[in-house]
Amino acid sequence: MENAGEHPAEANPGFRQVRELLHAHGLRYSRARQAILDVFARPGFGHLSAEELHRTLSEAGEDISQSTVYLNLAVLRDAGLLQEFRGSQGQAVFDANPEPHHHVICSETGEVHDLPDIDVAGVPLSRFLREEIRRRTGWEIEEAVLSLRGRRS
């Protein structure tokens, strides 16, 4: 039974955790943000397009419009809670792991997999690319995002 005056979302065990996470990133709590982050926290749901996320939320009985999904994905990405990259068809795909890393996308199925850290001459690949491009071209790369396409052999 809920405590008198308790917001229904507070019955969700992850409510306080999500509220604190959002607050730490300068964001207000909302039921939509809770639902979105809950989906990304599920095993097997680490890489989703806005359309896939909306469909998953709808199938779970969440009444959240597609425009609200798009808006909140952008807010969560801008706050550093999600990472965005391009999927197999060029669509925006959101990743629950906001730490810098790279992806390999299966050219047959479109499945996305995180790549393990790769070093080049003992230097993380992203840093190696930034330094090598600066040295060769003078460009200062702010972020190196790499998505590879291929299939298992």
Q: Each residue's pLDDT tens digit in the chain (153 positions)? A: 334 444 444 445 567 888 898 999 999 999 999 999 999 998 888 899 999 999 999 999 999 999 999 999 999 999 999 999 888 888 999 998 878 788 898 888 888 888 888 889 999 888 899 999 999 999 998 877 777 888 888
| Sign of the alpha-carbon torsion through 50, 53, 58, 62 | negative
pLDDT at position 5 is: 43
Of 34, 39, 38, the C-alpha closest to 51 is 39
Cα(74)–Cα(70) distance, integer angstroms: 6
Query: What ranges make up the beta strands (E) of the chain?
Result: 47-49, 83-86, 92-95, 103-106, 112-114, 119-120, 123-124, 147-150
pLDDT at position 14 is: 67
Cα(62)–Cα(57) distance, integer angstroms: 5
DSSP code of residue 4: T
Hey, what are 7's tokens? 């917001």
C-beta atoms surrounding 54 within 10 Å: 21
pLDDT at position 153 is: 83
Query: Can you list the domains of the chain with their CATH numbers?
Result: 1-98 (1.10.10.10), 100-153 (3.30.1490.190)
One DSSP character per residue, 6-42 reads --GGGGSTTHHHHHHHHHHTT----HHHHHHHHHHHS
Burial of 110 (0-12, 13-18, 19+ CB in 10 A): middle
pLDDT at position 134 is: 94
Cα(36)–Cα(43) distance, integer angstroms: 14
pLDDT at position 88 is: 82
pLDDT at position 151 is: 87
pLDDT at position 46 is: 85
In a 13 Å sphere around the CA of 2, the CA atoms on its Cβ side amount to 10
